Amino acid sequence: MSWMQKLYETYESCQSLVGEKEQENRTPLMPIYHTTQQAQIEAVIDTDGRWRSARVLEDKKERTTLIPCTEKSAARTSKPVPHPLFDNLTYLAGDYTKYRSLKEDRCSEYISQLSEWCSSPYSHPKVRAVLEYLKRGCLMEDLIREGVLYRDASGSLPEKWEGEKGNEPPIFRAATGVPAGAFVRFQVVQAGGSEDLHSRIWEDKSVWQTFIDYQNSLPADRDYCYVLGKELPVSMLSPKYIRRPGDNAKLISANDKDGFTYRGRFETPSQAFCIGRETTEKAHNALKWLIPRQAYVNGDQVILTWRTDGGKTLDPCKSSLDLLYDLEGGDPVISTGEDFAKRFRNALRGYGGRLTGGEQACILGLDSATPGRLSIFYYREMKEKDLLDRMELWHGSCCWHFSSYPKNTGGFRPKERPVPFVGAPSPETIAQAAYGKQLNDKLKKSAVQRLLPCVGDGAKLPQDIMLCAARRASNPVALDDNDYGNTLAVSCALIRKYYNDKENDQENDWKNRKVKNIKDYKERWKMALDTGETDRDYLFGRALAYAQKLESYALSLMEEKRSTNAERMQAAFSQHPARAWRTLYQSLQPYLQKLGPRGSRYQSELNKVISTIGMKNFTNEPLNEIYLLGYASQMDAFNEEMRKAVSHKNELAGTGAEEEEKQ
């Protein structure tokens, strides 16, 4: 349970941030014995317990409400258990049954529980005002009179709006379920005064502290906390709402007394695991706070990386581009992939230079085992310098030429161009390249989960993911231009890493591995075109690139836009290269004649590549994935040559224009 100890330490390190407002309506670091709820109604009373007003909270950004909770209410499911102060109308309204039927009386238990708090030495005037008002049993009546709750012509409270869409009362837009079951919070203003920030009970730190003191004063079973190793009041229930509001999955649970969860091995749940209530509260509150701030979230899957002092650290689920934006803390202007690579290396070095050696970094992966249970599929804790080495190795070894929009700045922005960068794609991008953008969440989560150890531990790249991406990249006619370009780039990054890792003879155990950082990593397969490479697959890939270039060049001169024979035959070419090449080369002849002298250089270079393959290797033996490296590297060389030619032409045009102006 070291993950819980690290979360507890994080909470202790960030005590000064408890209750501070977060940006974008994120969950704050909550005080212990508190949780958050989404309120739909806000009622205002005065310190004498008299009604003032109420309104529907239509803006989602202002609904998140910090509420006191007991151990049982924080973990409640279908069994009625009231929260101590704020709750839904079925608990708060003493007159609820006048307007709707209810199986059990929930209000009496709520009033009894709140009365115990108010009669203790840890009472609070604002809380007593809420109690005095709710004892009168007129909340439903007051909300109906204010027009907050809607009554139809028959006088009943409908469960859903039957009228014209767009004309529904606000409560139907705010409530996620039945409006009569809406969650209510209170403001308490001074008698004769007006509403202000001090009247918001859910933001009043003095109310928080009185409830914490009250809870700590209650008798509780004591036992040894397995996390802290101390005798403390212990908890038998675990908080929920861990990943988001409404999330019912729990990390710790032992409520199946009649099944076989612990029977036969333990007599009680505490024999299997025992944790202090304050310990679990602080650990879970730290987790709830960290997830919306800095975790990768894919549906129910959460991958959180954090430092035990509460600070952010390097995120293993981000691409090199997004990571640079994090490191530089702004919106850097990047002109070329080489410029990016230099800045990325400098940013990592600068980040490492700020580390003292004592920083602890943790990576925690969560997913739903069942709707009510959370599983931890990955957990690592290490020195942050070790994480830096592993991240640097990943981003330096699994890289290619990319062009993308950074997610940190809001993703795609129509008026701006994608940023060129030389680096590693994110695990999610790799999953999309391997299985397509329309892959289901289950497959995406599985792929990301399998790739996480490659980043965080330096584990070997799964071969099947690399092969899936390579197969998709070998069939360009099945993909649109943007998807194909990204798939090819990701495939080349994976192929390079997979085969370079084999060259480096990496082992699964990080500590015993020969290569521990990028400085020790040797690369045979590089991103730049290697004209001296004699590998058969690499050379066939280069030959395919020449065929693609010659035909596309001719089509551009003819002002035709269609798929080339090289693109249509690429899948067949990868399986039967010699036979497919003969067909492909014959189809090139008309285009070679069309190009004339302009294509002679390319043809001469192509013949040199073919001759290097040699008759012995010019067979129908299927090509392995290395051919994509030769193809992509050769195409990148063509594109770079074209960019330089265009740049030179523009420079000459600019010089000529300046001379004309002088004349």
Q: Dump the DSSP string for 564-631.
A: -HHHHTHHHHHHSHHHHHHHHHHHHHHHHHHHGGGGHHHHHHHHHHHHHHHHHH-S-PPP-THHHHHH
CB-based contact 516:480 (threshold 8 Å): no
Residue predicted with more confidence, 481 or 323: 323
CB-based contact 137:95 (threshold 8 Å): yes
pTM for the predicted model, two decimal places: 0.85
Tell me what the pLDDT averaged over the chain comes to: 87
- pLDDT tier for residue 28 given thresholds of 50, 70 and 90: confident
**β 183-189/41-46 pair status:** parallel
Angle between helices 481-504 and 384-397 (to 10 degrees): 120
Residue type, 437: K
Q: Is the pLDDT of residue 356 over 50?
A: yes
CA 68 to CA 74: how far, in whole Å? 9
CB-based contact 396:518 (threshold 8 Å): yes
Q: pLDDT by residue (tens digit) across 92-148? A: 999 998 888 888 889 999 999 999 999 999 999 999 999 999 999 999 999 999 999
Q: pLDDT by residue (tens digit) across 173-223? A: 888 778 888 999 999 998 876 666 678 999 999 999 999 999 999 988 888
| 8-state DSSP, 237 | S
Q: Is the pLDDT of residue 413 over 70?
A: no
Q: Phi, psi at residue 558, to the nearest 5°?
A: -85, 0
The region of weakest confidence among 112-121, 187-196, 327-336, 489-498 is 327-336
pLDDT average, residue stretch 581-609: 89
pLDDT average, residue stretch 513-522: 73
The region of weakest confidence among 286-295, 352-361, 373-382 is 352-361
**Assigned token pair, 569:** 């035959």
Q: pLDDT by residue (tens digit) across 215-258? A: 999 988 888 888 888 888 888 778 888 888 778 888 887 666 66
Q: Is the pLDDT of residue 435 over 80?
A: yes
- pLDDT tier for residue 155 given thresholds of 50, 70 and 90: confident
pLDDT average, residue stretch 290-302: 91
- pLDDT tier for residue 508 given thresholds of 50, 70 and 90: very low
- pLDDT tier for residue 263 given thresholds of 50, 70 and 90: low
Q: Phi, psi at residue 201, to the nearest 5°?
A: -60, -40
> Percent of the chain beyond pLDDT 70?
91
Q: Phi, psi at residue 187, to the nearest 5°?
A: -105, 145
Q: Is the pLDDT of residue 168 over 50?
A: yes
Q: Is the pLDDT of residue 334 over 80?
A: no
CB-based contact 245:64 (threshold 8 Å): yes
The region of weakest confidence among 360-364, 420-424, 643-647 is 643-647
Q: Is the pLDDT of residue 447 over 90?
A: yes
Q: Is the pLDDT of residue 448 over 60?
A: yes
Nearest to 288 by CA among 61, 5, 16, 34: 34
pLDDT at 412: 45
CA 433 to CA 473: how far, in whole Å? 8
Q: Is the pLDDT of residue 430 over 50?
A: yes
pLDDT at 255: 63
Q: Is the pLDDT of residue 14 over 50?
A: yes
pLDDT average, residue stretch 342-350: 88
Query: Rounded to the nearest 5 degrees, what angle is found at the Cα of 546, between the Cα atoms of 540 and 549?
Result: 145
Residue predicted with more confidence, 533 or 23: 533
pLDDT at 408: 58
CA 659 to CA 663: how far, in whole Å? 6
- pLDDT tier for residue 657 given thresholds of 50, 70 and 90: very low
pLDDT average, residue stretch 578-583: 95
The region of weakest confidence among 159-168, 264-273, 648-657 is 648-657
pLDDT at 518: 79
| 8-state DSSP, 560 | -
Residue predicted with more confidence, 9 or 329: 9
**Assigned token pair, 534:** 């004699």
The region of weakest confidence among 5-14, 195-204, 567-576 is 195-204
> Percent of the chain beyond pLDDT 90?
52
pLDDT average, residue stretch 279-303: 92
Q: Is the pLDDT of residue 503 over 90?
A: no
Q: Is the pLDDT of residue 628 over 80?
A: yes
Residue predicted with more confidence, 236 or 276: 276
pLDDT at 210: 96
pLDDT at 330: 64
CA 83 to CA 184: how far, in whole Å? 12
pLDDT at 587: 92
